[in-house]
Chain A
Amino acid sequence: DTAVSQTPKYLVTQMGNDKSIKCEQNLGHDTMYWYKQDSKKFLKIMFSYNNKELIINETVPNRFSPKSPDKAHLNLHINSLELGDSAVYFCASSGLENEQFFGPGTRLTVL
């Protein structure tokens, strides 16, 4: 059973489009995250939710909107995609031991 899953794994789209990435964890964790990894492999936190409540919202354009329908799911919607949004997006969750479990990543390519 996959602990943290993301769909899709690859996403290729045109500039200006709107797209969503879905994330689900079956670990029973309360906290979930979205990270962006750029082409230089730098990993930066974007958002964090704890039990469906937004607790971290880094300096991210408001074209990015996370949604947590329940504590097992954290989706990321991106409006009006730009070339600079091309990256790998990772979902993660953490529990009482505070170690993070990562999803497989979604490689987003904006053309």
Chain B
Amino acid sequence: AQTVTQSQPEMSVQEAETVTLSCTYDTSESNYYLFWYKQPPSRQMILVIRQEAYKQQNATENRFSVNFQKAAKSFSLKISDSQLGDTAMYFCAFMPRTSGTYKYIFGTGTRLKVLA
């Protein structure tokens, strides 16, 4: 069975500092997508960053970057220069690229609080 594990239920970081959220997954697939989604108190789910497993290069979106370690099945999210608006639940998600399969599997989330 495919699973996604986020081992940090809660984290906090001082404004302007850097924080890393961890995510590991288990799969026998070789080709898949990985995502980080953010859910602020407004409850809207927002895509933060995506990574395709066949790409070696780590994805980056402004202050957000990932450390993708395919062999270790690890996909951590680094937030640089943390801002108060980054306070949210963060979900790691996995989706296999198997043809006809559109099933996303989400981790249990990490609640991040950015402190002023």
Contact = CB atoms under 8 A, between A and B. Distances in A.
Interface of A: 31, 33, 40-45, 48, 50, 55-56, 88, 90, 92, 94, 97-102, 104-105, 107
Contacts of A33: 102, 104
Pairs A-B, 9 closest by C-beta atoms: A102-B45, A43-B106, A41-B109, A105-B43, A31-B102, A99-B47, A48-B102, A98-B33, A99-B50
Interface in B52-95: 89, 91, 93, 95
B89 A41 contact: yes
Contact of A90 (B33, B45, B46, B97): B45
A48 B103 contact: yes
B45 A45 contact: no
B96 to A, nearest CB: 10
Interface residues on B, range: 20 to 34
B30 interface: no
Tell me if A's interface is mostly helix, strand, loop or mixed: strand
Contacts of A98: 33, 50, 95, 97, 102
Given A42-B106, A45-B104, A48-B102, 6 more contacts: A40-B108, A41-B109, A98-B33, A99-B33, A99-B50, A104-B43
A108 to B, nearest CB: 13
Given A42-B108, A43-B91, A88 B102 contact: no
Nearest to B46: A102
A51 to B, nearest CB: 11
B102 A56 contact: yes
Contacts of A97: 50
